[in-house]
Amino acid sequence: MAKKEKKKKISSKKEKYAKFHKEKSGTMDLSMPELPPEAVKQSREDLERIERWLKTHRNPPTKEVSLRRMLSKR
């Protein structure tokens, strides 16, 4: 006694609005655009400039931290 296969009943709303649903891929396709050599050179120079600036301009420690360090050294 095998079960009879029933066809799934599709609602009229789903049929009506099915054309608006787009298929979405499961994986995201992220790729960087190809940059001309001048733009690559410019971005590299900018990164180097930022790194140099960050090396010399670090945030000084707060007063509380510097006082605590001085007291602990005594």
Given a cut of 70, whether residue 74 has pLDDT beyond it is no
pLDDT at res. 69: 85
Return contacts of 21-25, CB within 8 angstroms, 24+ apart.
Answer: none
Assess contact for 35 and 43: CB atoms under 8 A. Answer: yes
Domain boundary assignment for the chain:
37-74
6-58 pLDDT tens trace: 788 888 888 888 888 777 777 777 787 888 999 999 999 999 999 999 888 88
